[in-house]
Amino acid sequence: MWEGHIPGQHVDIRLTAEDGYQAQRSYSIASAPEDDHLVLTVERLQEGEVSPYLFDVIEPGEELEMRGPIGLYFVWEAVMSEPLLMIAGGSGVVPFRAMLRHRRAVGADVPARLLYSARTIADVIYRDELEVHDGSDETEVVLTLTREQPDGWGGYDRRVDRTILEEVAWDPDRRPRIYVCGPTTFVELVAGTLVDLGHHPTAIRTERFGPTG
């Protein structure tokens, strides 16, 4: 029985083949604690061992071996009063969906800002939901599309860099809580740049992912 979680936590999914071979992957929780169901958002990797099974093989009603919730380092709760800054690359937006949904569910008024880097507008996960969050209840969603932009696009059109972070991140004097999630190179670049801009390293929480091999 699921006993609840804190936004930012993840679970481990383990698959066991008939010959005993096991494969395990970690997935961030996309749902808020207040939601009716536990939601995971899985990106299908062509050469992956777990995601193709979850996409192409598993049927509704089948059981999965799952461990969690796991992790207390990357979590955010509405009782935290500092401005909330979330910076995502690709599917790194998943835990931030949980944070935004939790923030709205409990009526928290702490300012929140999401900077989300995706290749194209079609690659923006939860696009419709993020559009609802943007501009409501002191929440701002900022997109940068690195590969292709739709006609009339007025947002950023490049990888996250120092200038974008200077324009989007709050002043270090406001002591925002900063969470960065995405591919390893993305996370390292963003976190390092934020430190160069004056944010204290202990204020920056990171979660990264990369290819397995």
Q: What's the pLDDT tens digit per position in 141-199?
A: 999 999 999 999 999 999 999 999 999 999 999 999 999 999 999 999 999 999 999 99
Give the β-pairing of 65-70 and 10-16. Answer: antiparallel
Regarding whether 145 and 60 lie in a shared domain, the answer is: no
pLDDT at 1: 60
Regarding whether 92 and 31 lie in a shared domain, the answer is: no
How many domains would you assign to the chain?
2
Regarding whether 154 and 58 lie in a shared domain, the answer is: no
Instruction: Please check whether residue 76 lies inside any domain of the structure.
Output: no
Alpha helices in 66-201 (DSSP H): 94-106, 127-133, 162-168, 184-196
Regarding whether 194 and 106 lie in a shared domain, the answer is: yes
Mean per-residue pLDDT for 81-100?
A: 96
pLDDT at 213: 33
Regarding whether 65 and 94 lie in a shared domain, the answer is: no
Number of H helices, E strands in the chain: 5, 8
SS3 call for 159 = coil
- Tell me which of 18, 42, 70 is where a domain ends: 70
Regarding whether 50 and 147 lie in a shared domain, the answer is: no
Instruction: Please check whether residue 201 lies inside any domain of the structure.
Output: yes
Average per-residue pLDDT for the chain: 91
- Tell me which of 42, 70, 98 is where a domain ends: 70
Regarding whether 178 and 98 lie in a shared domain, the answer is: yes
pLDDT at 190: 98
Instruction: Please check whether residue 158 lies inside any domain of the structure.
Output: yes
Domain that holds residue 104: 84-209
Instruction: Please check whether residue 78 lies inside any domain of the structure.
Output: no
> Which range among 54-63, 162-171, 201-210 has the greatest average pLDDT?
162-171
- Tell me which of 70, 95, 120 is where a domain ends: 70
Regarding whether 146 and 121 lie in a shared domain, the answer is: yes
Regarding whether 167 and 109 lie in a shared domain, the answer is: yes
Regarding whether 193 and 92 lie in a shared domain, the answer is: yes
Tell me the residue ranges of DSSP E strands in 62-188.
Answer: 65-70, 84-89, 112-118, 139-145, 177-183
Regarding whether 143 and 42 lie in a shared domain, the answer is: no
CATH code of residue 124: 3.40.50.80
Give the β-pairing of 112-118 and 139-145. Answer: parallel
Regarding whether 88 and 66 lie in a shared domain, the answer is: no
Is 86:96 a contact under the CB 8 Å cutoff? yes
pLDDT at 21: 85
Give percent of the chain above pLDDT 70: 98
